[in-house]
Amino acid sequence: MNKSLKWIMLLALLLCSLPFPAAAAAGQAYPVKTPQLKVVLSDTNPKVNDTFQADFWMQGFVGDYKRVEGIEFHLVFDPALVEPVMDGSTGKLEAKLFPEASKPITWSNSVDKKGKIAFAQTLPPKSKSGYFTGSGKIGSVTFKALKEGASTFQMTNSLVILPELAGVNVKHAHNSLTFHIGSDKAPTEKIEEVGTAAPAGKSRTASEVIAAYSDAKEIESLPWAQEAIAALTDYGALKGNQHNAMGPKQAMTRAEFVQLLVAAMGLEIKPAGGTVLTDIKPEDWYYDAVTAAAAAGAVGGYKDKATGALSFKPNNKITRAEISTILARLLDNPAAAAEGAAFSDVKAGHWARASIMKLAAAGIVTGGSNGRFAPENPATRAEVCVMIHRLMLKQ
């Protein structure tokens, strides 16, 4: 057994006083896909001397697989075909999984030009914050293509540990990716499942989940949204801000919406190279979520009439019509195509009418008591939670 892996398992024994990860809020059961530890390339058909980026991801750690306290992976690549381009030749993989405040312990962290990458990181004993939930980038390494040929990034082994599961490698998948330098041939991916399924955590009521937010009283004043907020929170898709406030009555930005959508729906993180959206950059916190949603066909852009360029406008407040259009694209329910309830302010010819009617027929959106839908109104965070929650229960 790898030395760093032994250390991680030993450290896990010290954390037995921590609670099990909670299952979905009472009465809720979202489908949970097998979480993944994966390598994603920015370019799967580089030419000789091109540089490209290899991103390492934790994806889909929700439900009983949330609250990761430690990971390890080992990967090999062909040094005859590609070589790492390291800043200052440090040979280090910068870790991004756990928040800075958590001060995680890194047992192994290296990129070997001879063809090996090793990474192992865990939280120290008594860490009260920083457990990883959902999807996020571990780190990135830039590579240079040296010569033509089929090159493989192969994950050889991996480990994921959760609190109170000392010595257990919890069930997850890791991938190996073969891509082609100097050729347009499509890449091939091999996915392997490893580890042991996590036992179901102790169920918590919606009230218990909501009570953990600093603005719980505000959430409790919206009984129509409590179930959705609690379920998405306990699932691991919804989180509070730096003050642990959920802000149910606040408007949600387009970037915030897409971040929640990707975590809730388990959308695949795809290679981000070549995005046509002009106003998002790789260093933006929402970049990977937006590119994942775009790759899934859920989101598009605003077209500039003069130049034809597409922008995402991440900081704009998202409207109820925009949300309806995005969710309708993800609704896998042909029976929902029929017309739903008529809304007095969604006239024939409205750009989002078909999507709004589709969601209304499926019971995902409703109007107010006055028969209006208010399509151009910014959606509150509580309204967004209710709509996404209903969509998830339809899948």
- Distance in angstroms (rounded) separating the CA atoms of residues 10 and 72: 14
- Give the helix/strand (H/E) hosting 228: helix 223-235
| CB 260, CB 380: distance < 8 Å | no
Cβ neighbourhood burial of 289 (10 Å; 0-12, 13-18, 19+):
buried
Answer for the pair 364, 390: CB distance below 8 angstroms, yes or no: yes
- The first and second tokens of residue 297, run together, are 């066909």
Q: What pLDDT does residue 18 have? A: 33
Task: Tell me the C-alpha distance between 321 and 353, whole Å.
Answer: 8
d(C-alpha 312, C-alpha 300), whole Å: 7
Largest CA distance in the chain: 68
Which class for 317: exposed (0-12), middle (13-18), buried (19 or more C-beta within 10 A)?
middle
Taking residues 234-255, what's their average pLDDT? 92
Q: What values do phi and psi take at 386, rounded to 5?
A: -65, -45
Residue of 169, 164, 165, 87 lying closest to 120 (CA atoms)? 169
- What residues contact residue 313 under an 8 Å CB cut-off, 6+ apart? 254, 279, 302
pLDDT at 29: 65
Determine the Cα–Cα distance for residues 254 and 322; give it in Å rounded to an integer.
9
The residue assigned the tokens 């408007």 is 251
Cα Rg of the chain (Å, integer): 22
- Mean pLDDT across the chain: 85
Q: What are the residues whose beta carbons fall under 8 Å from the beta carbon of 202, sequence distance 6 or more? A: 19, 20, 22, 23
What sign has the CA pseudo-torsion 161, 163, 167, 172?
negative
Q: Indicate the pLDDT class of residue 182, thresholds 50, 70 and 90.
A: very high
The answer to whether the beta carbons of residues 109 and 121 sit under 8 Å apart is: yes
Burial (0-12, 13-18, 19+ Cβ within 10 Å), 277: buried
pLDDT digits over 289-337, tens only? 898 888 888 988 888 888 888 899 999 999 999 999 999 999 875 444 4
**Token pair belonging to 93:** 């993989």
Write out the H or E segment, with its range, that includes residue 216.
Answer: helix 216-220
Q: What is the pLDDT of residue 24?
A: 41
> CB atoms < 10 A from the CB of 56, how many?
24
Mean pLDDT of 245-261: 95
User: How much is the average pLDDT of 337-356?
Assistant: 80
* Residue 355: both structure tokens together: 């999507």
Q: Among positive and negative, which fits the CA dihedral 379, 246, 201, 206?
A: negative
pLDDT tens by residue, 205-239: 999 999 999 999 999 999 999 999 999 999 999 98
SS3 state at 138: strand
Q: How far apart (Å, rounded) are the C-alpha atoms in residues 247 and 68?
A: 26
**Beta-sheet pairing, 70-76 with 82-85:** unpaired
Structure confidence at residue 178 (pLDDT): 96
